[in-house]
Structure 1
Amino acid sequence: MSTDQNNNTMKAMVLEHYGEAFKLKELPVPVPAKGQVLVKIMASGINPLDTKIKRGEGKHAKQLAPAILGLDLAGVVVSTGEGVNAFQPGDEVYGMAGGIGGRQGTLAEYAAVDADLLALKPASLSMQEAAALPLVFITAWEGLVDRANVKAGQRVLIHGGAGGIGHVAIQLALSFGASVFATGSSRSLQLIERLGATPIDYNSLSVKEYVGKYTDGEGFDIVFDTVGGETLDKSFEAVRNYTGHVVSALGWGSHSLAPLSFRGATYSGIFTLLPMLTGKGMKHHGEILREAARLSEKGQLKPVLDKRVLSLAEAEVGYKAIESGDVTGKLVVNI
């Protein structure tokens, strides 16, 4: 273990200025406050949002430099703060724990984390697999379950089915008994099919064509947009009349609601970071991760990991890979 417990320091990757490379530094190990647990981090998942924050483009995340970035972690509870009864030292946990709103991120050997944001790590997943799940699974659950109320027998379309959120959303919708369809580029269709969804090459079929082919022109019961931009506009065209529901994790642009309104359909946006920014609703994140653990133990949920094995000092390599699009599955840093 590279942490020197005698002087109570830890190694962490620090972003001193937006757009610059991380610097490996020695910092004090944090002390858990009331309601927090101290976690020895074993793995830290990298998300596209992390790279936006690093570039200075993730203003909505309210993480000012200098900072330790990283949203997702898996690790072991070392100690607990006052009032924490759900966890004890030695527990293996995972969660979307920091990296925004002034909270210390997960590119470090330790973090003090609000206990409400954590759940026990599923035994069926490695630390690396568990660290890949929190942000993407919470987003998928909030969209498909909390907003759209996915049910057995529904036809669900997921845009970006091979992406971080998309590949988890496919598995989640299937676990509810839905028929799942997912768009992707030609190189991602094989993965989408392997996950159990019907792949749709968005470059070769228009919205009208695939709605006709797979729903007899009626439209999909739920359309989950994980891409944003013009993909959200296409979602409004692909949804079923009256009962259809469009959900987007990236509905930040300006869009015409006419195609949606003419179908009498509904729309919901997701902002997964809100509980961490406001301090309200954090318990629901822990609840969702317990559902993820349940599905994992049943063999219905497993993240796809990139083959690269990165150490804490190599976090910069992972960030650059995500920015260049040179990633297959989720990238995880071993700590």
Structure 2
Amino acid sequence: MKAIVLKKFGGPESFELQEVAVPEAGAGEMLVCVLATAINPLDCQIRRGDYSGHVPLPAIIGHDVSGIVEKIGPGASDFAVGDEVFYTPQIFGPKGGSYAQYNVVPQTLVTRKPANLTHEEAAATTLVGGTAWEALVTRARLQPAESVLVHGGAGGVGSVAIQLAKAMGATVYTTCRGRDIAFVRQLGADHAIDFTSQDYVEEIAVLTEKKGVNVVLDTIGGTTLSQSPHVLSDGGRVVSIVDLTTPQNLAAAWGVNAEYHFVFTRQNRGKLLALKTLLESGRIRPIIGARFSLEQIPDAHTALERGEVNGKPFHGKVVISVA
């Protein structure tokens, strides 16, 4: 099979297109023909070597799959050959990721693809959708009529989080660049704050009449953890999906009885089943900003890191057609 192999840690040029053996499905596993995948910031971090201790080289990485079941391993009885499925492969798993024509996956991570989505659309939702669900539902326990501030609402996780929060009945505030305000409002954001020209702490105070928000979702890092207590209501929750290495002063969190959660995404079928329902009902929609082929994955990484294709900014996921 064709695969994009990470030969060394570094820039997008570190990938190489190779012919490799098709992996074998073991007990409780399935072999899936990958029809589409997508690029995530996590992929760029792995490529750069941020998690070098977890990724022996050479490696096939990638964390989104939409495709068709090709073979069933012993004891994998939940699916049949020919089923259309979508899922996130095991992160740092031994069987490799989605930058290839085939992937082996435990059946417990897999869900049937939403009937109303193309394979590219389905591949654009798995990792970001699962992460948004883990952050807002599992960790933050967001409730109807509560409020949430989504930092980086125009990004991959942020754009899904806005839609998910609205589907849950929350009031959504978000930060973004001025050029992205119309986009995040189309997703359902009630209030958009241009972080390049506005102080979001001051804006939240005005917009909420100093009551603050119930939940902050941090997708950007920086000083978000230390600033969050200044926008939280009493008993508010902060969820960060960013691996921060710089210490921050959280003394202000005591004054609002703040709760902090740190999420490195983990996948299971339950999350995807819930997301599938929302996707099939149209309450969440995939956002595709750019398309590339398997051979063009180095270019796709460049596009994601620059936030533009051919000099033009884009919104949404960078997807890869594998077939």
TM class by shorter chain equals over 0.9
In 2, Cα distance between equivalents of 1:209 and 1:18? 41
Residue in structure 2 matched with residue 328 of structure 1 by the alignment: 315
Q: Does 1:288 align with 2:271?
A: yes
Shift of 1:98: 4.1
* Kept after mapping to 1: 8 A contact 2:29/2:74: yes
Match of 2:158, SS state, is helix
Ranges of 4+ aligned residues in structure 1 off by more than 6 Å: none
In 1, Cα distance between equivalents of 2:131 and 2:187? 18
Shift of 1:229: 2.0
Residue in structure 1 matched with residue 48 of structure 2 by the alignment: 55
In 1, Cα distance between equivalents of 2:42 and 2:143? 30
Deviation string 1:115-138 (CA, Å, 9 cap, x unpaired) is: 111111101111111101111111
In 1, Cα distance between equivalents of 2:4 and 2:48? 15
Q: Does 1:12 align with 2:3?
A: yes
In 2, Cα distance between equivalents of 1:102 and 1:33? 12
Pairing of 1:32-181 with structure 2 (within 5 A): 32-59=25-52, 62-98=54-90, 100-181=92-173
In 1, Cα distance between equivalents of 2:225 and 2:251? 13
Residue in structure 1 matched with residue 286 of structure 2 by the alignment: 303
Shift of 1:231: 2.4
Match of 1:319, SS state, is helix
Q: Give RMSD over aligned pairs.
A: 1.5
Structure 1 residues 208, 155: CA separation in 2 closer, same or farther (over 3 Å shift)?
same
Q: Which deviates the most, 188-197 or 12-21?
A: 12-21
Looking at secondary structure, tell me which structure has more strand per residue: 2
Pairing of 1:228-307 with structure 2 (within 5 A): 228-241=221-234, 243-253=235-245, 254-273=247-266, 285-306=268-289
Unaligned runs of 5+ in 1: 1-9, 274-281
Q: Percent identity?
A: 39
Deviation string 1:144-194 (CA, Å, 9 cap, x unpaired) is: 100111111111110000100000001111111111111101111111111
Pairing of 1:179-258 with structure 2 (within 5 A): 179-197=171-189, 198-241=191-234, 243-253=235-245, 254-258=247-251
In 2, Cα distance between equivalents of 1:11 and 1:177? 44
Shift of 1:251: 4.8
* Kept after mapping to 2: 8 A contact 1:69/1:98: no
* Kept after mapping to 2: 8 A contact 1:45/1:71: yes
In 2, Cα distance between equivalents of 1:100 and 1:22? 17
* Kept after mapping to 2: 8 A contact 1:128/1:334: yes
Deviation string 1:42-95 (CA, Å, 9 cap, x unpaired) is: 0011101101111112347x1222011111110000111111121111111111
In 2, Cα distance between equivalents of 1:32 and 1:103? 9
Unaligned runs of 5+ in 2: 309-313
In 1, Cα distance between equivalents of 2:181 and 2:101? 37
In 1, Cα distance between equivalents of 2:229 and 2:124? 30
